[in-house]
Amino acid sequence: MPSFHNGAVEIAYLDEGEGEPILLVHGFASSKNVNWAYPTWVSELKKNGRRVIALDNRGHGDSAKLYDSEDYHIGIMAGDVTALMDHLEIARADIMGYSLGGRMTAWLAHRAPQRLRSAILGGIGIGLIEGGGPGEKVAEALEADSLDDVTDPVGRTFRAFADQTRSDRRALAACLRGSRRLMTREEAADVAVPVLIAVGTTDEIAGSAAALAGIIPGSKVLDIPDRDHMRAVGDKVYKAGVLEFLSERK
């Protein structure tokens, strides 16, 4: 698996297919494989004539594990995305992020719009602005000696997922504490790139997609029927909606 260094931090990535580039940014406690390769996003996008790039966020997958929460601010993590684009000499790309990856993508859409052809925000709705989702109880669940010691239901969900993916739980706890910055309504209203907001209709973590779409000018909503935060990722409605949205780009 190829990798590069953004400063002292090694970032692993995949780069497959040919055509217009799309860059995929996974969610918290996940990885490029769990979020994108295993649910067949990579193969589907390649079949549709796309060059597919996906990174393991710092603290995740095969990338460097860091234990200081200051190393995980949203702007720093989003900087790994543009550093990868620079490494691959890609000036602009469609970027799709899920959950934490969606918040990173939204940050880039506001701060570095010249790098994005479009932004697809999966698994993140008005929570981008109002908060919610995993918080300190999840960080504590990740640091607990075992799952049996965790009583918080959301904490148990994320701890079980981290155990399943054999993640570095201490790095994830640092990431969670460092990446909590929310986007302001003013920042969201200033986003000018084309945006698709894709959220499961039973997702209690992301917050309302329609509410966020009411703030980001010209954004579109893709409802993923009967899917919660964890089960929306590989849904066929999600994939079909994204492919349709991408086909509208010139």
Q: Domain holding 97: CATH number?
A: 3.40.50.1820
- Does the predicted TM-score (pTM) go above 0.85? yes
Q: What is the pLDDT of residues 13-45, one digit of tens each?
A: 999 999 999 999 999 999 999 999 999 999 999
Residue 204: phi and psi, rounded to 5, are: -95, 0
- Give the angle 60-68-182 at the CA atoms, nearest 5°: 75
95 vs 21: CA distance, rounded Å:
9
Give the residue carrying structure tokens 């393991």: 56
- State residue 186's pLDDT score: 98
Neighbours of 217 (CB within 10 A): 12
As given in the structure block, the two tokens for residue 43 are: 């193969």
- Give the angle 223-210-120 at the CA atoms, nearest 5°: 65
Domain for residue 25, yes or no? yes
Mean predicted confidence (pLDDT) in 46-60 = 98
Domain for residue 162, yes or no? no
Domain for residue 10, yes or no? yes
Domain that holds residue 195: 3-134+180-247
Domain for residue 173, yes or no? no
Number of domains observed in the structure of the chain:
1
- Position 249 pLDDT exceeds 80: no
